[in-house]
Chains A and B, each alone.
Chain A
Amino acid sequence: DAKTTQPNSMESNEEEPVHLPCNHSTISGTDYIHWYRQLPSQGPEYVIHGLTSNVNNRMASLAIAEDRKSSTLILHRATLRDAAVYYCILLAYGSGNTGKLIFGQGTTLQVKP
Chain B
Amino acid sequence: EDQVTQSPEALRLQEGESSSLNCSYTVSGLRGLFWYRQDPGKGPEFLFTLYSAGEEKEKERLKATLTKKESFLHITAPKPEDSATYLCAVQAASGGSYIPTFGRGTSLIVHP
Tell me whether A and B are bound partners.
no
**Which B residues form the contact surface with A (CB < 8 A)?**
none
**Which A residues form the contact surface with B (CB < 8 A)?**
none
